[in-house]
Structure 1
Amino acid sequence: MTVISDQEIADFSADFNTNSKNQVASRAARRSGLLEASFNDRVSERLNHVFSTELDVDGVTDQKHSGRCWEFATLNVLRHYFGKQNKVKDFTFSQAYNFFWDKIERANAFYDAMIRLADRPLNDREVQSWLAFAGEDGGLWSMAINLVKKYGVVPSYAMPESFNSNNTTGLIDSLARKERKDAIALRKLVSEGSSQDELEKAKKHFLNEVYRMVSVALGEPPKKFDLEYRDDDKKYHLERDLTPREFVQKYFKDFKFDDYVVLSNCPNHEFNKLYHMPLYDNVDGGDQIKFLNVPIEYLAQAAVAQLKSGDAVIFGNDVLKQMERKTGYLDTELYQTDKLFGVDTKMSKADRLATGEGFATHDMTLVGVDEDHGHIRKWKVENSWGDKYGHKGFYEMSQPWFEDYVYDVVVRKEFLTDEQVKLAEGPAIDLKPWDNIG
């Protein structure tokens, strides 16, 4: 290691003061903050609120202080479908209901993994990945669909949001701490030569405690509910004593869940390959969590085609990059911090993923696109941060931002090429828990 000398410090200072613009930039940055000082208001010229293709969507939802964007985005797609089929645009589903079952199922997957990996040391990389994942509330479309298939859905009034669903930190911290302690106990039982029955008995006891914790925090989910709403024509509807599964079976019988494929764009992995992420397999017996990795143009083409068919598109993205909540702008030229600093931090998408600079941190929904003779100008985005941000909760995203910061879209097979359909239905390559595939 080389020590920084006094002479080098003097040289750095002299270089900084050689250009008077550095002092101007420093004063602006110190006064208003780096982002505000580098904000490029000219992006508004291309990010207006007009789109050549736009779904008829009403108000937005609000995930508050939680990592449940994946459930909100999934249920937004389902509510748009239900609204179109039943002429009721303002109908919403309970995110708290599916969040409840996610905590139970994910604890079960965690305990199974701890038993399976009990012969490895605690500092083993895969064991550490599972321990780090304990209690988490982030997830993916395929995970949400696994929960919908097994447990159904309920209207938002049947299991409304509560303090702990809106502010999940306390619950996920408690669950993580408990599950990690339980992992030590399960590992000890395995090391002592306990039988499979003894391990299952211990796991059931731990799951019972998890159920109690989640029920205290969120309330028990309803076993039945009355479906009641007034449609857009003011006609009243009432159907009594539906179970959550019956609701999905009846009202989503034509919604082909298995026709959807997650197209990913992660150039740090080989294209035209189907990948499986075992760490995210949240429901025992459910579908595996898989991604078909392809060049970015296929994500855009499929998303446009699905929007033109009248259906929204869920997409995973790195929302905190080049985004302003107030305006709802998503644009690669929004904050010009490199010009403010006089440096170049531009990296390829592959390098950002490989170094941890890039990562899908949020799920949102595409509900519109603006094209000019096939050239994509911008996208309309439905977020789940309430209606106080953006344009009444909707955001405008440039095509360069899509290419740089979108990592996956959820689209129907009909919008894929024949070769992509074949790949999506074939065998998948298992990824390690630490592989960054966006």
Structure 2
Amino acid sequence: MTINTDLLTQFKTRFEGNRENQVIKGAIAKVGINTASLDNDLLRRHPFSFSQETKRGEITNQESSGRCWMFAALNTARVGTMDRLNVETFEFSQNYTLFWDKLEKTNYFLDSILDTLDEAQNSRIVAHLLKDPVEDGGQWDMFSGILEKYGAVPKSVMPETFHSSHTAVLNKVLTAKLREFASVLREGYKNGGTTEELAAKKEEMLYFIYNVLVKALGEIPKEFTYDYRDKDNKFHRIAQTTPQEFFKKYVGWDLTSLVSLLNAPTEDKPYGKAYTVKYLGTVKEGQPIRYINTPIEVLKNAAIDSIKAGEPVWFGCDVGQMSERKSGIMDENAYLYDLTLGEGLKMTKAQRLDYGESLLTHAMVLVGVNLDGDGKPLTWKVENSWGDKLGKKGVFSMSDKWFDEYTYQVAVDKKYVADKWLKALDEPVTELEPWDPMGSLAMVK
């Protein structure tokens, strides 16, 4: 078929023959597709009332950075810290973990370049490695590795800097240098460089990145003293402790007991199997990324049990889908495209994954759920990290159907997951290609 005058005349006649189009085109031209399509009953379906809630701290703000996965993990961790310190709220330093993430990603990237020296320059794997070597985003297991190795510190110990809150230029500089370093290593190998020579070059490259990170993000504390007043106005001093000691004593997580559940209902990923992604990670020597792919009900039931026990839940989703940012509502019927555009969006969750229409983009925290009389979820209470100007002072509401369609990952304690699913961790892990949609990173700002 060719687009010609006759076809265009036919389309024009057809469009003008529908009087509703005349009204709709004016509305869309004036306010845009989403505002014109917004369901006015949205707020009625989301009264922001929840039958089960966990404790949470004050809303945080990742500013102009893609650190949502860090904020979500630390906001999950701080609930136990608030109890141990007897404080109303608490915030960990996301700058501290950002520093280590950038340095560890650099090491992981350079090792990956050394591992693929025999690959052609135009190979898909080399192109993938060079695309975004130190982007802000991440997944649960990547952050778990950072906590295991480096611990965590209160925000006052390593506060925000310009570049921790505005990472674009820092990422651009680091990416340019890492691509340069990759060319040096690959060309050195082609010219007969020995393993020892390439390793020495890599160490100098790591130092350069460390040097930039200290200048942009600040000095890393090896030990620190933390003074605070509790909610009874009593003064406390935690003297000369390390980040690892602080995390162990005031968070107390056994990171090995936390498991990542996935919901990817595509034919290539059978349920009940464990998966990892090639060349995806942060701490090179840490536990490789592992997910157990399960039906969506397994994710939801584990999250409900965790919330009932007072434990918030880290989760990853595609936040931009059917989401009204200003009101903080995620609802599968947020926009009535079938009425304004003539046809709605019809792909299944599996089709969206297979055809590149959806993937994990953002991480937040489940801090509540509204259950009906039969214990089934109606809506979910979500703690976001976009400040308190959006949603209900930073809190979002998610419909249960939206959870089904656009949530991909939760991190929960193994005790909330049936053994029939956990046994996948004792079986061989299936490696996914680096460009698989399950290798996407949470990083929406």
The alignment's TM-score, normalised by the length of structure 1, stands at: 0.97
Task: Give the superposition deviation at 1:193.
Answer: 2.4
1:273 aligns with 2:263: no
Question: Where do residues 399-438 of structure 1 align in structure 2 (5 Å cutoff)?
Answer: 399-437=400-438
Which 4+ runs in 1 deviate beyond 3 A?
Answer: none
Q: Which SS does the other structure have where 1:88 is aligned?
A: coil
Alignment-derived partner of residue 108 in structure 2: 109
Q: Deviations over 1:298-353 (max 9, x none)?
A: 11111000101110001100111111222111101111123211023210001101
Question: Where do residues 322-333 of structure 1 align in structure 2 (5 Å cutoff)?
Answer: 322-333=322-333
Q: Which SS does the other structure have where 1:41 is aligned?
A: coil
Alignment-derived partner of residue 258 in structure 2: 260
Q: Which runs of 5+ in 1 are unaligned?
A: none
Q: Which SS does the other structure have where 1:279 is aligned?
A: coil
Write the distance in 2 (CA, Å) between the matches of 1:81 and 1:402.
26
Question: Where do residues 177-188 of structure 1 align in structure 2 (5 Å cutoff)?
Answer: 177-188=176-187
Please tell me the residue identity of whatever aligns with 2:344.
D
- Say if 1:109 and 1:58 are closer, same or farther in 2 by CA, change over 3 A: closer
Q: Deviations over 1:174-196 (max 9, x none)?
A: 11111011101100111122222
Q: Deviations over 1:4-56 (max 9, x none)?
A: 11101111111111110011100111111111111112022221121110112
Q: Deviations over 1:232-290 (max 9, x none)?
A: 2222110211111221233234x211111111111122221100123322112101111
Q: Deviations over 1:195-221 (max 9, x none)?
A: 221111000010000111111111121
1:126 aligns with 2:125: yes
- What is the percent sequence identity of the aligned residues? 39
**Counterpart contact for 1:278–1:289, Cα < 8 Å:** no
Write the distance in 1 (CA, Å) between the matches of 2:305 and 2:280.
28
Alignment-derived partner of residue 147 in structure 1: 146
Please tell me the residue identity of whatever aligns with 1:331.
D
Question: Where do residues 263-412 of structure 1 align in structure 2 (5 Å cutoff)?
Answer: 263-268=261-266, 269-372=269-372, 373-412=374-413
Q: Which SS does the other structure have where 2:366 is aligned?
A: strand
Task: Give the superposition deviation at 1:365.
Answer: 0.1
Write the distance in 1 (CA, Å) between the matches of 2:39 and 2:58.
28
1:75 aligns with 2:74: yes
Alignment-derived partner of residue 443 in structure 2: none
Task: Give the superposition deviation at 1:131.
Answer: 0.8
Alignment-derived partner of residue 160 in structure 2: 161
Task: Give the superposition deviation at 1:426.
Answer: 3.2
Question: Where do residues 196-207 of structure 1 align in structure 2 (5 Å cutoff)?
Answer: 196-207=195-206
Q: Deviations over 1:342-390 (max 9, x none)?
A: 0232100011011110111100000000001212110000000011110
Write the distance in 1 (CA, Å) between the matches of 2:276 and 2:51.
36
Q: Which SS does the other structure have where 2:79 is aligned?
A: helix
Q: Which SS does the other structure have where 1:161 is aligned?
A: coil
Q: Deviations over 1:152-177 (max 9, x none)?
A: 11110011111111111001111111
Q: Which SS does the other structure have where 1:131 is aligned?
A: helix
**Counterpart contact for 1:278–1:288, Cα < 8 Å:** no
Write the distance in 1 (CA, Å) between the matches of 2:24 and 2:251.
56
Please tell me the residue identity of whatever aligns with 2:278.
P
CA-atom RMSD in angstroms:
1.2
Task: Give the superposition deviation at 1:58.
Answer: 3.2
**Counterpart contact for 2:57–2:79, Cα < 8 Å:** no
Q: Which SS does the other structure have where 2:279 is aligned?
A: helix
**Counterpart contact for 1:261–1:424, Cα < 8 Å:** no
Alignment-derived partner of residue 190 in structure 2: 191
Please tell me the residue identity of whatever aligns with 2:322.
Q
**Counterpart contact for 2:85–2:250, Cα < 8 Å:** no
Write the distance in 1 (CA, Å) between the matches of 2:170 and 2:337.
37
**Counterpart contact for 1:378–1:398, Cα < 8 Å:** yes
Alignment-derived partner of residue 62 in structure 1: 61
| Comparing 324-333 and 363-372, the one that deviates more | 324-333
Write the distance in 2 (CA, Å) between the matches of 1:317 and 1:252.
25
Write the distance in 2 (CA, Å) between the matches of 1:27 and 1:185.
56
How many residue pairs get aligned? The number is 436
- Say if 1:122 and 1:339 are closer, same or farther in 2 by CA, change over 3 A: farther
Alignment-derived partner of residue 34 in structure 1: 33
Please tell me the residue identity of whatever aligns with 1:127.
V
**Counterpart contact for 1:135–1:173, Cα < 8 Å:** no
Q: Which SS does the other structure have where 1:311 is aligned?
A: coil
The alignment's TM-score, normalised by the length of structure 2, stands at: 0.96
Write the distance in 1 (CA, Å) between the matches of 2:233 and 2:325.
35
Q: Which runs of 5+ in 2 are unaligned?
A: 441-445
Q: Deviations over 1:124-144 (max 9, x none)?
A: 111111111312110012111
Q: Deviations over 1:59-99 (max 9, x none)?
A: 11100111100000011111111112332131111000000
